[in-house]
Each structure stands twice: as structure tokens, then as C-alpha cells.
Amino acid sequence: MKRPLLYTLYIMCIAALLPFTSCSRGIHEQGNALAIEIVWDENSMSEGDDTDTPPDLTGITVYIYGTDGTLRDSIRYNNAGEVAANSHQVPAGDYVIVTTSNVEGSLSVNDEEIVSLEQLMIEQGEDAPPGQAYYSIQWVHVDATGVTTSRQELRPVLSRLQVNVVGATEGSTLQAEVLNAAKCFYPSRPNSAGSYGIPSEETTAYTLPAGAFVTDTRAETTGRMSTDSHLMPTATGETEAVVRITYTPQGGTPVTQTYRSKPMLSGKQYELTLNLDMEIVLDGYDYGTSDWDRVEF
Amino acid sequence: MKYKNIFRLFALMGAAMIVGIPLQAQETPATSKSPTWYMGIDGGVPFGYSTFRSFGANKTRPGFDAGVFGGYRFSPLLSLEVSARMGKLGMSATDCCILSGYWLGQDGRHYHVPALGLEGWNYGDLKSDVRMQEYALQFNVNLLGLWSKTQNSPWAVEVSPRLGASLTQTDIKTIGDNALHIKGGNRWHLAARGRLQVSRTIGKHFLAGVYTGMTFLTGRGIDNMPRHIHRSNYVWDSGVRIGYLLGRRTKKAKAAASTENSVSAPIAGERTEETTIQQPAPVQPADTVVIPDTATVPDAAAVSAITDIAMTAEATDTLVTFPVIYFGFDKYTVATTETAKLQEILSLLQQRSDVQVQIHGYCDRRGTAAYNSPLSLRRAESVKNWLTEHGIPAERISTAGYGIDRTTTDNRHARRAVIIQLRKEESK
């Protein structure tokens, strides 16, 4: 009788010992961590913003640069939740954290090779028109212990332009082209507003997708042709944005006109409307800025 | 932190050895507490330790629990009981998690920082309300039962390992408005507990005590929070217990008690005067008998025969009843507390000069047969020597060592020398 009881006692003692092996590991104090918190930049997402509702973030890349501009690490996440759920072990010191998101479609980042902070750029190709892309940058000091949070305030990279031809007839064609869009965007270079993120000085022509006909409920026989797209903002150094519109009525002669306005900025939406019913009075504006000026071409 | 865990591990291993080693020493401690059933209620204040803790950063949230228990006490050393209990406790974040900026998403996942587009809460704003049930089997080892001086004490200091199943249901709420955010389902855990309890028997049937202990739970945290950094998952609780001793003995216990009573005189108090431990030297007097333990261990029939002689001594004019001499643990010298009995034996032998006796020595169960056989003989010899020194001719006394007495679980009564009057045909 005693022996089984003795064995039972030992087994229970050993069982009671096991949990101690995983007890209360207070490793908060050991080492450090860098956490990335992604938020929207309230200033750049105000009235006239490109987006009415915040989009889902996909394809988020976090670049960790040293203050000397050398890339220390880059991590890619699928969504904002993954970014928030992970932390990064980095030595104590000063860092520059750059985040890009939604760089998809015809957009790309030149990160296939290790590039310096200054060289990091977002480019727009000839593929399908992209959605909006976002970036942020922050200087942080990571302590030797504890968790340092880098608050990444996302700002949009691209402008958005919508071109309308009111009074168009079905079967007509519309082509719009921005002549001096930036070739790329540098998220880590300072801009004139005292922040970071600037379009390149090098320009490129960007052709919007072909306009589509939409029946206008105000007229029985005519409608509206429209096209819009995200595109690189106006190149740095350009004093105005230049848009060329070519409208060809069905069976008619193409009409090409060029319009100028203030430079298109990142994150802003612009609309240019050509009203054929008003004897080709051109009506263009961007939200909260100025009218478009017509230039004979 | 690593060293702290290692220290804890060794501390518990040491405790286990302290509990276990005496059980394998030379002799099992004697008992005066009878085997018995018991039952009772207990209740206390539990504190939870997981990612959230009852000792939270902003407030301490003690819980409460209560339960019933019932068990069987095998001896003053060991008892086994089952219990069922239920209760509640509150838990919230500690400083470290709050300072780290931890955040709980509505999806129940841990985040280092708020996740854009997902509802969630900072750890510092949350609390866990835990409802618990536990069903367990508990083994009690009374440390006072390890020493003969304290084994009959009404007090008990028990180390109690315990295994069981625990059911938790945990809701996560915000502290400010007590709004429910994540409702917890039923979650079963394997529960291993170490408990220290001190109790006292009051009167014949009641016991009261206090306890403190830790219950370690497997599986996900009882706080229903995602596991990150903190791996602990246990409950520390302290409380009081009140019990009732049913006093019902098993047949075996009754039989053992009956046998012991028949052959022994009442023990007059505790034996406080102990002599130093001496190794028994080989003794081979002509009239002594050393009976190998394995062969001569007094089986039930043998002991019965011996006790029959003692029991019938008064019934027959020719037989004399002698007191039984008891010995301390691992002792063969007669304690001074037994001197009165020796005087009585001396007096009886002086009055009946025609009587010849044989002294039988016994040991308790602790230790090997090889060790205990000579020890039992030395006990018999020790009594014989005292008697011969006081004038009884050595020719009237023979001795025999019977080694371990396996007929009784009462070790204190097992360590003895019994004086048997020989029948005339035997003495011849």
C-alpha cells in the first residue's frame, strides 16, 4: 500500500515542478525592439483628398536606414496588421524609417538592389493605371532597452486627374495626356514645404486611359466622355501642369487643345471639363485651387 | 530571470526530496492518528498570473473561491482527497506590457502598436474577468508525521501536490466602462498545484486550517489574452479550510488497532528521553535466537499465537501478563520512560520464580531485513540484560529477534520487546 502511494507522491511532485520551467519570463527588460505604427497623415488626407474612404493597405515595405543613408534592413508585409504585430530587433542608435505601401500595378520601387536613402524612389511605368500609393518617413532613436515605436504617417504619392468632355456624342474618342509629370518620386528627399517626399525634376509624358462614353441624363442625344487616372505629380521645377486633350467626334475632325494650371501635387485630385454645349468653353478646376487655362496648341 | 527559474526548480526538487527521503529511511514513523475519512469546505482569495495579473498596474483585483473536499487519511503522514471548487478573479495588465504599448485587436491578436483599420484597445485599458472551476485529486504529506515527537500532535503541516482539471471562462472588458469586448468560451486546463497547509484537529471530529498554494495551468492563458512574452499561467490562492473527521475506520485499520491493543500496554505519554543511536553489535548468546527476517517475520498466525498467550494470561493461573517495552526509532537501549515497566516485569519474575520467559524483539518496517533482524535481537537482549542485572538468573530468560513486524502499520507499536511466559513443556 505504501509503495504505490509513494510513487503517486513522486509523480505529483514532478508534475508540479513542470510548470516552473515556463513560469513568468519577464523578458520585456531584455534587449530592445522597434515597432512600426502606421497611421494616416491627417494633413495630407483632408479636403480635396484623393480618397473618400481609407483604402486597404497592401504590399507594405518598411526600410530601416542608418542615419548615414545605408540600408540596414527592409521587411515586407502583406497588410497593416502584420506590421503592427511584429517588431524589429535593431542595435540601439538613430535610424531613418521609410515605409511604402500599395506600390502596385505600374508602380515600382527601386529596391531590387540595395540603394541609399537618397536613391530610394517610386517609379511609374507604362502598365495599367495604378491606384494610390503611400509613403512615410521618420527619424527615430532606438534605445538600448524597451520598445521604440516609429509612427509612420502615410501620405499619398500620386495626383489624380479626371478629364471630362460634356456634350460628347456616342462613338467619339477622347485622349488626355499630361506632358510634364514627374518621372519618379523620392520619398526621402526634403521638399519645399519643410517635409519629405518630392517629385523628380525629370519629366515624362503620361497618357491617361482612353475616355469612355457615359450617357448624360440631361440630353437625349449627347452624353459625356470621361477618363481619369492616378499619375505622378507635376515634376519639381515646373511652374504649371500641362494637359493636352484630343477630342474626335464621331466622323468628325479631331480637336486638340492644351490646358495649363498650377502644378499637380501629391494626394490631390484635379478635374478638367470641356463643355461642348457651350461652344467649346473650357471649364477646368481642381479642388480648392484654380481654374484651368486654355492654351491654343 | 533564467536563474530565478532554476532556483525555483531546485527549491521544489529539494522540497520533494525532503518529503520523499524520510519515507525511505530506516523506519517508518509511528502513528497515533487513526486512518479515517474526512470531509469539509474551504475558501480563499485567488490571484491570477498570466499575461494579465491580479496585481495589475492600476489596481489589485483579488478574487474569491470556495469548494468542498473529502478524503481518507491513511496515517498521520499521508492522506488523499478529492475536491471541487469554483470562484472568480480579475486580472489586468502589468507595467511592462503597458509601457511596451501593447495593443489587443478585436481579432484577439496581440499587436505591438495599434493596427490601422482594426478596432482594438491598449492593454492598459483592459481587464479580464475570469470564472473558474476546478476538480482535483490532492495528496497531503504531513511533515509533522515524520518525527515521533510530533506525529501525534493535533497540528498538521502538510505539503500537498495536487492534479486536476480546471475550467475557465474569461471575458475581456474595458476598465473604464466595463464594456464587454471579447467573450470567452469554456476552456479546459490541466491543473497542477503545490499547496502548503497548516491545520489543527479540534476535539475528536473537527479540523480547521489555513492554506496557500499555486496552481499551474496548461493551455492558453486564463486571462484569455494572446500569449506574448509572458508564459506564466498560474493562480496563487490562500484561504481557510474547515473539516469534519468521520472517524470511520477500514476493516484493516480496525484489525491492526485490535492486535496492537491486545499485546501492548498503553503508552504513557511521549518518549522524550532519547539515547544516542548505536549500531547493534553482533550478539550470540547461547539462549538467543536470531530469526532471519524473510523467514521469521511473524506472520499473522505467529503473532496471533504470541498475543494469545498474553491475552489468556489472566485467564489461566499459570500464565503471567508482562508489560510490553517500547523502543525509540533505531534504538535498542531501554528509555527511562520504560523503566517502570521493567520494574513491574522484575517484580513479577521475582514473585514467580518458577516462570521462565522468552523475550521477543521486533522492529518497524523502515529499513532492510538485514539491518532490523539484529536490531530486534538487541532490543530483546537489552531487556534481558536489565533483568539479569537486577537479580533474575539468566537461565530463566531466553531471547529471540523477529526482525520487522509486518503485521501492523503502527510503527511506534512495532518497535518493542514482548515478554512471553513459556509453558512448562516449552521451557524444558
Give the whole-angstrom CA distance, residue B197 versus residue A77.
53
Point out the least confidently predicted range of A16-25, A135-144, B403-412: A16-25
Q: pTM of whole model > 0.90?
A: no
Can you tell me the mean pLDDT for B255-259?
40
Burial class (CB in 10 A: 0-12, 13-18, 19+), B221: buried
Look at residue A2 in the predicted model and tell me its pLDDT: 59
How sure is the predictor about A49, in pLDDT bands with cuts at 50, 70 and 90? low
| Per-residue confidence band for B281, with pLDDT thresholds at 50, 70 and 90 | very low
Subunit contact B111:A81, Cβ cutoff 8 A: yes
The 3-class SS string of chain B reads CHHHHHHHHHHHHHHHHHHHHHHHCCCCCCCCCCCEEEEEEEEEEEEEECCCECECCCCECCCEEEEEEEEEECCCCEEEEEEEEEEEEEEECCHHHHHCCCEEECCCCEECCCCCCCCEEEHHHEEEEEEEEEEEEEEEEEHHHHCCCCCCCCEEEEEEEEEEEEEEEEEEEECCCCCEEECCCCEEEEEEEEEEEEEEEECCCEEEEEEEEEEEECCCCCCCCCCCCCCCCEEEEEEEEEEEECCCCCHHHHHHHHHHHHHCCCCCCCCCCCCCCCCCCCCCCCCEEECCHHHHCCCHHHHHHHHHHHHCCCCCCCCCCCCCEECCCCCCCCCHHHHHHHHHHHHHHHHCCCCCEEEEEEECCCCCHHHHHHHHHHHHHHHHHHHHHCCCCHHHEEEEEEEECCCCCCHHHHCEEEEEECCHHHHC
Give the mutation candidate from A14, A20, A78, A87 for the B interface (greatest B CB count, under 10 A): A20
Output the average pLDDT for chain A.
Answer: 80
Taking a C-beta distance cutoff of 8 angstroms, is the pair B405, B363 a contact? yes
pLDDT tens digits for A68-101?
A: 999 999 999 999 999 999 988 899 999 999 999 9
Task: Give the rounded percent of residues in chain A with a pLDDT score beyond 90.
Answer: 34
User: In chain A, what's the furthest Cα-to-Cα distance?
Assistant: 111
Please tell me which residue of chain B has the smallest CA distance to A40: B116
Predicted pLDDT of residue A154: 92
B385 touches chain A (CB under 8 A): no
Q: Do A6 and B12 touch (CB under 8 A)?
A: no
Interchain proximity A87–B80, CB inside 8 Å: no
The predicted structure's pLDDT at residue B314: 38
Kind and range of the H or E run holding A83: helix A80-85
Percentage of the residues of chain B whose pLDDT score is greater than 90: 37
Q: How far is A24 from chain B (nearest CA, A)?
A: 4
Q: Minimum mean pLDDT among B42-51, B133-142, B310-319: which range?
A: B310-319
CA angle B169, B172, B178 (to 5 degrees): 120
pLDDT, residue B304, reads: 38
Least confident of A129-143, B21-35, B91-105, B408-422: B21-35
- The grid cell for A48 is 480635396
Are A187 and A155 contacting, i.e. CB atoms less than 8 angstroms apart?
Answer: no
CB-based contact B74 A5, cutoff 8 Å: yes
Q: Above 90 in pLDDT, residue A238?
A: yes
Contact B139 A26 (CB under 8 A): no
Nearest to B231 among A14, A25, A39 (CB): A25
Residue of A nearest to B79 (CA): A5
A·B CB contacts under 8 A: 146
Is there a contact between A84 and B114 if contact means CB atoms under 8 Å apart? yes
pLDDT confidence of residue A278: 55
| B133 pLDDT higher than 90 | yes
- pLDDT computed for residue B377 by the predictor: 92
With CA atoms as reference, the chain B residue closest to A23 would be B232
Q: Using pLDDT thresholds of 50, 70 and 90, give the confidence band for residue B238.
A: very high
Looking at A217-226, A269-278, B142-151, B154-163, which range is the least confident one?
A217-226
What value does the CA radius of gyration of chain B take, rounded to a whole number of Å? Answer: 30
- On whether any CB of chain A is under 8 Å from the CB of B327, the answer is no
pLDDT tops 90 at residue A290: no
Amino acid found at B396: R
- Say whether pLDDT at B1 is over 90: no
> Is the pLDDT at A61 greater than 90, yes or no?
yes
Interface residue B14 vs chain A (CB under 8 A): no
Asked whether residue A259 carries a pLDDT value surpassing 80, the answer given is yes
The rounded distance, in Å, linking the Cα atoms of B394 and B152 is 38
% of chain B residues with pLDDT over 70: 74
Which pLDDT band holds residue A17 (cuts at 50, 70, 90)?
low
Q: Residue A270's pLDDT is what?
A: 84
Q: Convert the pLDDT of each residue in A143-201 to its tens digit.
A: 888 888 999 999 999 988 888 887 888 888 888 999 999 999 999 999 888 889 999 99
- Mapped onto helix, strand or coil, the DSSP state of residue A8 is helix
**Looking at the predicted structure, is the pLDDT value of residue B294 above 50?**
no
Q: How confident is the model at residue B278 (pLDDT cuts 50, 70, 90)?
A: very low
What whole-number distance in Å separates Cα of residue A173 and Cα of residue A171?
7
Residue B273 or A21, more confident: A21
Instruction: Copy the grid coordinates of residue A130.
Output: 495604378
pLDDT at A63: 94
Beta bridge partners of B270: none
Q: Interior CA angle at A56 toward A53 and A59, to 5°?
A: 145
Higher-confidence position of B205 and A200: A200
Among B12, B294, B409, B189, residue whose Cα is nearest residue A16: B12
Looking at this predicted complex, what is its ipTM? 0.75
Task: Tell me what the mean pLDDT of segment B218-227 comes to.
Answer: 88
Q: What is d(CA A124, CA A104) in angstroms, rounded to the nearest whole number?
A: 10
Residues A182 and B72: their CA atoms lie apart, in Å, by: 87
In b/e form, how buried is each residue of B158-175, taking b as 16+ CB within 10 angstroms? Answer: bbbbbbbebebbbbbbeb
- d(CA B156, CA B140) in angstroms, rounded, equals 10
Which residue of A2, A12, A152 is the best one to mutate when testing the B interface, meaning the one whose CB has the most B CBs within 10 A?
A: A12
Interface of B with A in 125-144 (CB under 8 A): 139, 141
